[in-house]
Structure 1
Amino acid sequence: MNLAEAIEINAKARPDHIAIIEGDRRLTYRELAGAIATAAARLQTAGVGREDIIGLCLKDSAEHLIFLYALARIGAVILPMDVRWTEAEKLRVAAHFETRFILVESDSDPVGDLQMLAWDALPEETDAAGAILPGDDIPLLLSLSSGTTGRPKGPRITHTQMLRRFWTHWINLGLNSTDRYVSATPLYFGGGRTFAMSVLFSGGTVILFPPPFDAADLCAELDRVSATSTFLVPTQLRKLLTQNIASLAPVGKLRLLISSGAPLDGDERVAISKLCTNFVEYYASTEGGGISLATPDTRRLQPNAVGRPVFGVEVEVVDNDHAPLPAGEIGRFRYRGPGVATGYFRDEDIDRETFRDGWFYPGDLAEIDEAGHVILRGRAKDMIIRGGVNIYPGEIETILREHPSISEAAVVGWASQRLGEEVAAFIVAAEPVDDTDLKLWCAERLAPYKLPKAFFRVDDLPRNSAGKVLKAELAAGLPTSAA
Structure 2
Amino acid sequence: MSHVLHSQCWLIDSEAGAFALQQAHNSRGIAPAQTLQTWRAGGAVVMTGQSFNVRQAAEAIRQFGATFIVLTPPMVHEMAAELATRPLDVSSVKTIQVGGDTVTKDILIKCTALFPLAHVCVNHGMTEGGGSFVWPFFKTPALNIPFFGEICPIGAVAPGSIVRIWDTERKCVVEMGELGELHISCTSIIGHYLGGRSGESFYDDTKGRWFSTGDIAMVDNNGLVFILGRSKDMVKRAGVAIMPAAIESSIEAFTGAQTIVVPTPHHVLGAEPFAVLASYNGKDQAQIKDYVRAVFGRDYSLGGLASLKELGLVEFPLNLTHKIIKSEIQTAVLKHLEGISGERSKVE
1:343 pairs with one of 162, 173, 192: 192
Alpha-carbon contact 2:20-2:38 (below 8 Å) kept? no
Q: How does 1:17-56 map to 2 (within 5 A)?
A: none
Does the alignment pair 1:423 with 2:273? yes
For residue 255 of structure 2, give the secondary structure of its aligned residue in structure 1: coil
Question: In the alignment, which residue of structure 2 is the partner of 1:386?
Answer: 237
The CA deviation string for residues 8-51 of structure 1, in whole angstroms up to 9 with x for no partner, is xxxxxxxxxxxxxxxxxxxxxxxxxxxxxxxxxxxxxxxxxxxx
Separation in 1 of the partners of 2:204 and 2:325?
27
Deviation at 1:342, TM superposition (A): 0.6
- Letter of the 1:197 counterpart: L
Alpha-carbon contact 2:237-2:269 (below 8 Å) kept? yes
Alpha-carbon contact 1:180-1:207 (below 8 Å) kept? no
Q: 1:291 to 1:269 in 2, by over 3 A?
A: same
Deviation at 1:222, TM superposition (A): 2.5
Question: In the alignment, which residue of structure 1 is the partner of 2:164?
Answer: 316
The CA deviation string for residues 143-185 of structure 1, in whole angstroms up to 9 with x for no partner, is xxxxxxxxxxxxxxxxxxx222122232x31434983233241
1:302 pairs with one of 143, 146, 156: 146
- Letter of the 1:183 counterpart: L
Alpha-carbon contact 2:73-2:107 (below 8 Å) kept? no
Q: 1:248 to 1:305 in 2, by over 3 A?
A: farther
Question: In the alignment, which residue of structure 1 is the partner of 2:255?
Answer: 404
- Letter of the 2:291 counterpart: W
Separation in 1 of the partners of 2:235 and 2:52?
35
Question: In the alignment, which residue of structure 2 is the partner of 1:434?
Answer: 284
Q: 1:220 to 1:468 in 2, by over 3 A?
A: closer
- Letter of the 1:180 counterpart: A
Q: 1:374 to 1:178 in 2, by over 3 A?
A: closer
Does the alignment pair 1:329 with 2:173? no
Alpha-carbon contact 2:166-2:180 (below 8 Å) kept? yes
Separation in 1 of the partners of 2:231 and 2:215?
5
Deviation at 1:248, TM superposition (A): 4.3
Deviation at 1:237, TM superposition (A): 2.3
Question: In the alignment, which residue of structure 2 is the partner of 1:286?
Answer: 127
Question: In the alignment, which residue of structure 1 is the partner of 2:216?
Answer: 365
- Letter of the 1:369 counterpart: D
Larger Rg: 1
Separation in 2 of the partners of 1:424 and 1:315?
32
Q: 1:405 to 1:272 in 2, by over 3 A?
A: closer
Q: 1:432 to 1:223 in 2, by over 3 A?
A: same
Does the alignment pair 1:241 with 2:80? yes
Separation in 2 of the partners of 1:290 and 1:197?
13
Deviation at 1:278, TM superposition (A): 0.7
Q: 1:181 to 1:190 in 2, by over 3 A?
A: farther
- Letter of the 1:238 counterpart: H
The CA deviation string for residues 441-480 of structure 1, in whole angstroms up to 9 with x for no partner, is 3233221110211002223222222222222233334147
For residue 442 of structure 1, give the secondary structure of its aligned residue in structure 2: helix
The CA deviation string for residues 86-139 of structure 1, in whole angstroms up to 9 with x for no partner, is xxxxxxxxxxxxxxxxxxxxxxxxxxxxxxxxxxxxxxxxxxxxxxxxxxxxxx
Deviation at 1:187, TM superposition (A): 3.0
Separation in 1 of the partners of 2:282 and 2:222?
41
Unaligned residue ranges in structure 1 (runs of 5+) = 1-161
**Cα RMSD for the two superposed structures:** 2.9
Alpha-carbon contact 1:234-1:263 (below 8 Å) kept? yes
Greater relative contact order (CA < 8 Å, ≥ 6 in sequence): 2
Alpha-carbon contact 1:463-1:469 (below 8 Å) kept? yes
Separation in 2 of the partners of 1:328 and 1:375?
10
Question: In the alignment, which residue of structure 2 is the partner of 1:102?
Answer: none
Separation in 2 of the partners of 1:306 and 1:178?
20
Question: In the alignment, which residue of structure 2 is the partner of 1:395?
Answer: 246
Alpha-carbon contact 2:156-2:223 (below 8 Å) kept? yes
- Letter of the 2:162 counterpart: E
Deviation at 1:280, TM superposition (A): 1.0
Q: How does 1:69-148 map to 2 (within 5 A)?
A: none
Unaligned residue ranges in structure 2 (runs of 5+) = 309-313, 342-348
Question: In the alignment, which residue of structure 2 is the partner of 1:14?
Answer: none
Does the alignment pair 1:232 with 2:67? no
The CA deviation string for residues 371-400 of structure 1, in whole angstroms up to 9 with x for no partner, is 111111221111111111111111011111
Does the alignment pair 1:467 with 2:322? yes
Separation in 2 of the partners of 1:227 and 1:429?
33
Question: In the alignment, which residue of structure 2 is the partner of 1:264?
Answer: 103
Separation in 2 of the partners of 1:342 and 1:266?
34
Question: In the alignment, which residue of structure 2 is the partner of 1:453?
Answer: 303
Separation in 2 of the partners of 1:183 and 1:174?
11
For residue 173 of structure 2, give the secondary structure of its aligned residue in structure 1: coil
Question: In the alignment, which residue of structure 1 is the partner of 2:44?
Answer: 205
Alpha-carbon contact 2:12-2:37 (below 8 Å) kept? no
Question: In the alignment, which residue of structure 2 is the partner of 1:87?
Answer: none
For residue 352 of structure 1, give the secondary structure of its aligned residue in structure 2: helix
Alpha-carbon contact 1:405-1:432 (below 8 Å) kept? no
Separation in 1 of the partners of 2:59 and 2:238?
53
The CA deviation string for residues 37-86 of structure 1, in whole angstroms up to 9 with x for no partner, is xxxxxxxxxxxxxxxxxxxxxxxxxxxxxxxxxxxxxxxxxxxxxxxxxx
Question: In the alignment, which residue of structure 1 is the partner of 2:17?
Answer: 179
The CA deviation string for residues 212-235 of structure 1, in whole angstroms up to 9 with x for no partner, is 7655x6455335434332223333
Question: In the alignment, which residue of structure 2 is the partner of 1:166?
Answer: 5
Q: 1:246 to 1:448 in 2, by over 3 A?
A: same
Q: 1:341 to 1:206 in 2, by over 3 A?
A: same
Deviation at 1:201, TM superposition (A): 4.5
Deviation at 1:429, TM superposition (A): 1.0
Deviation at 1:355, TM superposition (A): 4.2
